[in-house]
């Protein structure tokens, strides 16, 4: 059996706090990460989809990554991942290099999503340049498989080729396809030889059985104790069907009110007393009446 990867576990796809003047709330970011750590997250992905990563300029992204390092004063083992992928190869390389220079534990890299008809060969060359120019040996790059958003899937053959060519740098993927069948195909092909982090809470338990390593989800901002309970049960060789069923219901609620960032920001404010952080256009803040409805639905699942 393959030894566990150092990045196994439960991760929040962290929201990005924004002040009323639409600036990143760098002062409160460490408090948000501390909240996630205390509630069972092994780490967090910053500047992913839930973190509105593509909405921020390079200097904003760098400032956020710097601010996030404060979490290690209180939680030195808390893992930090950065979303660094953009359609620009050079910008992706610069973002990735900056994250590793700061000491981040890994990066999650979207494919170049503007050109949707590219081939596996083109994607292999693109990712190879990112790895060769920006990822130190022994560091971890994860591809970001989110075809419903990017329009550019990462095929199993592409993943295998990247792992074969860069075994010390290409760690695996964040699989946000939401497909249990895909998670099982990954398990059948790779076992635990690559790190597979599912992005949908609904499939966490069966994906773990299929050799997934953990999860990186938006709902972990709110429900990480439940995700950690399911993950811990699997580590102990058992399942926690009751907790997984709550996650199934919670995820179904979240999926009815897309996109996730305004919903998560509204609910974390109402339930956990964080400021009512806004989202950056083109996203819009959640209307008050919708916010109340979602809160009531989530409370019925997790707090009754």
* Cβ atoms of 44 and 33 closer than 8 Å: yes
Catalytic residue among 50, 84, 96, 144: 144
Structure tokens at 296: 């009531």
- 167 domain-assigned: yes
87: left (phi over 0), alpha (psi -120 to 50) or beta: alpha
Element (H, E) at 204: helix 204-209
Q: Which long-range contacts (CB under 8 A, 24 or more apart) does 33-38 make?
A: 33/68, 33/70, 33/71, 33/75, 33/78, 34/71, 34/74, 34/75, 35/272, 35/274, 36/12, 36/220, 36/221, 36/224, 37/71, 37/74, 37/75, 37/78
Domain membership flag for residue 267: no
Would you say residue 204 lies in a domain?
Answer: yes
Q: What percent of the chain has pLDDT over 90?
A: 97
Mean pLDDT within 152-167: 98
Does residue 49 carry a catalytic annotation?
Answer: yes
Structural element, H or E, at residue 223 = helix 220-235
Looking at the structure of the chain, the number of domains it has is 1
Query: Binning pLDDT at 50, 70 and 90, where does residue 304 land?
Result: low
Q: Which domain covers residue 16, as residue numbers?
A: 9-223
pTM for the full predicted model: 0.97
Give the pLDDT of residue 1.
Answer: 41
Provide mean pLDDT across the span 59-80. 97
For the question of residue 114 being annotated catalytic, the response is yes
Is 159 within a domain? yes
Residue 295 lies in a domain: no
Per-residue pLDDT, 5: 86
Catalytic one among 2, 23, 114, 119?
Answer: 114
**pLDDT greater than 90 at residue 127:** yes
- Does 246 participate in catalysis according to the annotation? no
Residue 190, domain CATH: 3.20.20.70
The catalytic position among 16, 49, 196, 243 is 49
Q: Quick one: which of 111, 192, 194, 186 has its CA closest to 146?
A: 111
DSSP-derived 3-state class of residue 292: helix
Rounded to whole angstroms, how far apart are CA atoms 116 and 276?
Answer: 36
DSSP 81-134: EEE---S-HHHHHHHHHHHHHHT-SEEEE----S-TT--HHHHHHHHHHHHHHH
pLDDT band at 48, cuts 50/70/90?
Answer: very high
Q: Render 137-192 in DSSP notation, one character per residue.
A: TT--EEEEE-HHHHS----HHHHHHHHHH-TTTEEEEEE-S--HHHHHHHHHHHTT
* pLDDT, mean of residues 84-104: 98
192 Cα distance to chain centroid = 19
Phi, psi of 46 (to 5 degrees): -100, 145
Cα atoms in the Cβ-side hemisphere of radius 13 Å centred on 119: 3
Task: Tell me which residue of 111, 108, 190 sits closest to 157, measured CA to CA.
Answer: 190
Asked if the model's pLDDT at residue 252 lies above 90, the reply is yes
What value does the mean pLDDT take over residues 250-274? 97
Which 8-state DSSP code applies to residue 2? P
Residue 60, domain member (yes or no):
yes
pLDDT digits over 189-232, tens only? 999 999 999 999 999 999 999 999 999 999 999 999 999 999 99
Instruction: Read off the pLDDT band of 182 (50, 70, 90).
Output: very high
Task: Tell me if 123 sits within 8 A of 111, measured CB to CB.
Answer: yes
- The span from the CA of 267 to the CA of 222, in Å, is 8
């Amino acid at each position: 059996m393959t030894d566990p990867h150092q990045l196994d576990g439960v991760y929040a796809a962290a929201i990005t706090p924004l002040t009323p003047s639409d600036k990143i709330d760098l002062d409160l970011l460490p408090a948000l990460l501390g909240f996630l750590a205390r509630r069972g997250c092994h780490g967090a992905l910053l500047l992913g989809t839930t973190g509105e990563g593509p909405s921020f300029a390079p200097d904003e992204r760098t400032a956020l990554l710097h601010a996030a390092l404060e979490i290690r004063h209180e939680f030195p083992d808390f893992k930090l991942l950065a979303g660094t992928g953009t359609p620009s190869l050079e910008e992706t390389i610069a973002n990735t290099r900056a994250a590793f220079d700061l000491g981040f534990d890994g990066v999650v890299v979207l494919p170049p999503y503007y050109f949707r008809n590219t081939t596996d060969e083109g994607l292999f060359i693109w990712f190879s340049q990112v790895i060769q120019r920006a990822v130190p040996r022994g560091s971890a790059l994860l591809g970001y498989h989110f075809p419903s958003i990017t329009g550019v899937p990462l095929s199993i053959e592409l993943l295998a080729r990247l792992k074969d060519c860069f075994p010390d740098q290409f760690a695996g993927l964040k699989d946000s396809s939401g497909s249990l069948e895909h998670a099982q195909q990954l398990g059948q092909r790779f076992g635990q030889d690559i790190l597979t982090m599912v992005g949908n809470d609904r499939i966490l338990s069966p994906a773990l059985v299929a050799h997934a390593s953990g999860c990186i989800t938006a709902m972990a901002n709110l429900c990480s104790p439940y995700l950690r309970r399911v993950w811990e049960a699997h580590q102990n060789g058992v399942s926690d069907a009751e907790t997984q069923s709550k996650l199934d219901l919670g995820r179904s609620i979240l999926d009815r009110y897309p996109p996730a960032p305004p919903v998560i920001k509204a609910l974390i404010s109402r339930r956990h007393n964080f400021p009512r952080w806004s989202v950056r256009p083109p996203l819009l803040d959640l209307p008050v009446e919708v916010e109340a409805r979602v809160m009531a639905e989530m409370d019925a699942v997790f707090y009754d």
